[in-house]
Amino acid sequence: MIAHTLIARALILRGVVLWLLARTLISAVMSLAEFNPLALSARSSAIIILVSTLLGFAQTGRLREYVLLGNLGVSRATLVMYFALPALAGELLLLAAGRAFA
């Protein structure tokens, strides 16, 4: 199921970048609305994870990488994992940071 580290590293890095992008945009909007961006509800965090994952798929489609990844034996389920896990880890870190600074 897990492809080689060279592929995994590249896709996880992409997942991190896209999560950072999604999180920065949402945090900026929340700050403008005078909400604490670190104090998001679990549902909002889940939406950010979903958005990051969808962005990962969109980016993979934009770069036309599906055939290459298919030939590498990387399934859609594995791709979901590569894009969702960095976002999940990031959200958990921010949650912990939010509680520590509360």
Partner 1 sequence: MTELLCADCIGKSYRGRRILSSASLRAVPGELRALLGRNGAGKSTLLKIAAGWVQPHTGQVRWEGSVLSRASLPELARRGLFYLPDHDLLSDAFTVRRQLEMLRRRFDGLAPEEAARRTGVEAQLDKRPSALSGGELRRAELAAVLVRQPRCLLADEPYRGVAPRDAKCSPMSSASSRRPQSPSSSPDTRYRRSSRLRIT
The binding site for partner 1 (CB under 8 A) comprises 3-7, 10, 63-65, 67-76, 78
Residue-wise burial string across 19-37, b where 16 or more C-beta atoms lie within 10 A, e elsewhere: beebbeebbeebeeeeeeb
Nearer to partner 1, 48 or 79 (CB): 79
Confirm if 19 and 52 have CB atoms less than 8 A apart. Answer: yes
Nearer to partner 1, 58 or 93 (CB): 58
Which CB sits closer to partner 1, 29 or 72? 72
Closest contact distance (angstroms) between CB of 69 and partner 1 is: 7
